[in-house]
Structure 1
Amino acid sequence: MLDHLPLVPMGLFMFRFSTANYMPLTVIPGLRSGSLNTELIPEDVPLVWMTRFIFRMVMKENPITARQDWGKKWEFIWRKDGFDSYVSVPAIGDDGTVYFGTEDNKLYAVDGKTGTKKWEFETGGSVSSPVIGDDGTLYIGSGDKKIYAIKTDSKGPAKSPWPMRGQNA
């Protein structure tokens, strides 16, 4: 099952549920915009790019687990009612804060080092994948048909070798 398919210059960035309940961020080179038959995407797509975290979700307890160097680093449970829940592709601020939205109408900010909740923000609908602007403003869309701009303590997105702004990949 595919959850989120944002396009990037290198190809398709895929957020995928696998049989092991891992949802890696994966770049599939060569896929471009337009309609996509998801049956053409192989079951075991190799992970070709990774930033600081791999996230794992266990459907019945709904924790989000950050893994670094393939070892468990922390776990954050955002919903305890036992029902399946959607979690968006996370965004990471330059201060290490991990931001993600859920279908229970909330945006969460979690300390990337400890997994401790910093804050939550409730909207009137499920929350899309957040985007961090260069000034640290967090932008989200919501099922309540609104776009929110939220001031954060981050000064921008986390530093990463990719995407390479203004440079050839």
Structure 2
Amino acid sequence: MTGLNGKKLAQAGLVLPRSARPGQAWAPRTPAEEHLLREAQRLDRIRLLLLEELGRARAEAGRRPLSEKVAAAARAAERLKGCPLPPAQLNAVAAAAAGESVHATARRLSLSWETVRSHRQRALRRLGARDMEHAVQLCTAAGWITPEHASAGVSQ
């Protein structure tokens, strides 16, 4: 993968093998090939999400001076002091605060929906919340989720 710059990497994508018969598209013939194709498609989607996130991070990095970034990180660390939730569970609650479904959160974070559901359920237990709405209220009131994080669906 050396020698690929950002533009070439963005344009690169999943390339299927050539078919044994000219003029026909390649198609998986065995369960193993079907599995490998699904995995390749999943990894290609993750590659595109990472490139998108990298573009956002580069754009954001160009707008904010380093001292401001350090100050923001310090504020975030101070805000999360005393939070009983690990980052994954807090992110799941923040996504719920943004109105994101379990499936949408799973797609965005490239996790299974069961994992996201589990993070939400564990967050409910740790917070002693009745339901997800109550958990969002508790996290917002404590300052662990800010309105910006809730609208973005992520907590940092």
TM exceeds 0.5?
Answer: no
Scaled by the length of structure 1, the TM-score of the pair is 0.24
Tell me which protein shows more helix as a share of its residues.
Answer: 2
Structure number with the bigger relative contact order (C-alpha 8 A, sep ≥ 6) is 2
Scaled by the length of structure 2, the TM-score of the pair is 0.25
